Amino acid sequence: MKSLASVVLLCLGCRLTSSFVLEPPHMWSKLILTHHWPSTFCSMEHCHSKFDYWTLHGLWPDKGQECNSSLHFNETLIQDLLPEMQKWWPDLKIPESSRFWKYEWQKHGTCAAKAESLNSQHKYFGKALELYHKLDLDGVMKKCNIVPSETYYTEGKMQILGQIEICFNSDFQLDDCEHSETDTVNLNVKGAGFSVCDHATPVYYPPLKVYYPPLKGKLSV
């Protein structure tokens, strides 16, 4: 595979750069493998994450959303993938739940399924996991000494790194991530919380906040 020459970083705290455009669900030409940084996500959603690595958010075609309502999510079709998905593609708000996978399949997977290579739940989720492991975003960032830290950009104007997009063509080769004006998958939707990072503003990469759950019962002394 080519090097990661074209990725899109998405942050909190910078202006929206484009608007959401809705198009008819034509055949897609590009896939966007999207990663979540759990610490940033949970700072927005008021959850407590135990994950200290980049997790999968989704595999999104660049055309269409909710393309086929007859393709219902069925967890039994991906039983062999569940251990991997629970670890690498968790619902960060409710880790033991499958609702996030159902949402991703209905919104994005049913559109990806227009291609024969992704025309089943197993193919879709399996390919997303394959690309995620092949890229090893977490390992690449650590190798380049890009690591979370409390010491960088803790004062003054900043933006918070929360999501990274890496794009592929229909042959699952790395592709340019630049958005066109007609892309239907656009992370700069109002209310989504993220927008493309402003290269002129410092980016804060927050570490995981350690969470200690409350003790149940009474302590004996």
Residue 215 lies in a domain: no
Residue 2 lies in a domain: no
Residue 125 lies in a domain: yes
Residue 212 lies in a domain: no
Classified as helix, coil or strand, 123 is: helix
CATH number for position 16: 3.90.730.10
Domain count within the chain: 1
Residue 60 lies in a domain: yes
Q: Which residues contact 30 (CB under 8 A, 6 or more apart)?
A: 61, 62, 167, 168, 169, 170, 175
Q: Which of 76-80, 83-87, 151-155 has the lowest mean pLDDT?
A: 151-155
Q: Which domain holds residue 71?
A: 7-204
**Token digits for 166?**
């890496």
pLDDT tens digit string along 119-140?
A: 999 999 999 999 999 999 999 9
Query: Which amino acid is present at 23?
Result: E
Residue ranges of the alpha helices (H) in 107-189?
110-112, 121-135, 137-143
Instruction: Given the residues 108, 133, 178, 199, select the one marked as catalytic.
Output: 108
pLDDT score of 84: 97
> For the whole model, what pTM was predicted?
0.81
User: pLDDT-derived band of residue 83, with 50, 70 and 90 as boundaries?
Assistant: very high
Q: Is 133 a catalytic residue?
A: no
Q: Give the pLDDT mean for 160-180.
A: 89
Instruction: Given the residues 35, 36, 104, 179, select the one marked as catalytic.
Output: 104
Q: Is 57 a catalytic residue?
A: yes
pLDDT tens digit string along 58-80?
A: 999 999 999 999 999 999 999 99
Residue 213 lies in a domain: no
**pLDDT over 70 (residue 111):** yes
Q: Give the pLDDT mean for 138-166.
A: 85
Residue 216 lies in a domain: no
Q: Is 165 a catalytic residue?
A: no
Instruction: Given the residues 23, 36, 46, 57, select the one marked as catalytic.
Output: 57
Residue 169 lies in a domain: yes
Q: Provide the 10 A C-beta neighbour count for residue 42.
A: 20
pLDDT tens digit string along 21-57?
A: 344 456 899 999 999 999 999 998 888 888 999 999 9
